[in-house]
Amino acid sequence: MNLTAISLPDLIGFLLSFTFTLLVFTYIFGDNPMFRWTINLFIGVATGYAGAVAFYSVIFPRLVLPFVSGNRGEQILTVIPLFLSGLLLTKISPRLARWGNLPMAYLVGAGAAAAIGGAVLGTLFPQITASINLFDRHTAPMSWVNLLNAIIVLVGVISTLAYFHFGARGRSHRQSWQPSLTGLPSSERPSWLESLGQVGQIFVAITFGVLFAGVYAAALVALIERLSSLVNFLKPLLESFTKLP
């Protein structure tokens, strides 16, 4: 590839990508105005894109279009979200901000319900089912390797849940007198539960280590991709310049 094989839009895109990548890499030398300008530009573009997607995917087809060209039933149903959206805009003004508490309460309640339902139905129940199925010999042949894997997973699940048992404090808080939800003094929980929680702490640490390694690997892949794109862009340009008489 040479300069004549690159179209003008591609050349402009490559130059912008190259420039912004170098500006982001300037953070190696510390926080500086060029890096902050690039980050602000990225946040502005991402916000504008998100706003455009929200308008053309939600606001216009679900609020504006049914209210303008829909039947009477659709128009009546659209009045409620339009009214709540109008109340939500009152959050801009400090004097009228209290009128926006109703839609905010609705959003927070619906979001909390969706998050709790997703955590229970999408994480907790499938984890329990998967842990039980590990001991089902009809699901997989019960060899000593599968049995050991099932035991490790079961111990990890139970000990992690024990680690997050907040009904009682650890034994280091012996002066506390507040009762726990289990009826035991909050300063003393059973020694077996505390030992199980310490085992769960090991599993939690391993999990965080694996997650950190995954995030680091993903960031490293992105860095390699950016460096590779810079090399692939600069190499033909340098070859073209070296061939000039």
Residue 65: per-residue pLDDT = 86
- Confirm whether 68 is domain-assigned: no
Average pLDDT, the chain: 81
How far, in Å, CA of 46 to CA of 87, rounded?
A: 26
- Confirm whether 208 is domain-assigned: yes
- Percent pLDDT > 70 in the chain is 82
| Residue span of the structural domain in which 241 resides | 141-245
Residue 35: per-residue pLDDT = 92
- Confirm whether 170 is domain-assigned: yes
The per-residue pLDDT for range 104-144, each reduced to its tens digit, is: 999 999 999 999 998 888 888 888 888 788 777 776 666 77
Sequence-separated (6 or more) residues with CB below 8 Å from residue 184: 167, 168, 190
- Confirm whether 230 is domain-assigned: yes
Place of tokens 């506390």: 176
- Confirm whether 125 is domain-assigned: no
Residue 140: per-residue pLDDT = 62
How many structural domains is the chain composed of?
1
Cβ atoms 20, 230 nearer than 8 A:
no
- Confirm whether 131 is domain-assigned: no
The per-residue pLDDT for range 192-229, each reduced to its tens digit, is: 888 888 888 999 999 999 999 999 999 899 888 888 87
- Confirm whether 193 is domain-assigned: yes
Sequence-separated (6 or more) residues with CB below 8 Å from residue 239: 2
The per-residue pLDDT for range 57-99, each reduced to its tens digit, is: 988 888 888 888 878 888 888 888 888 888 988 988 888 888 9
Enter the tokens of residue 223: 């860095």
DSSP structural state of residue 137? T
DSSP structural state of residue 184? S
Supply the pTM of this predicted model. 0.58
- Confirm whether 181 is domain-assigned: yes
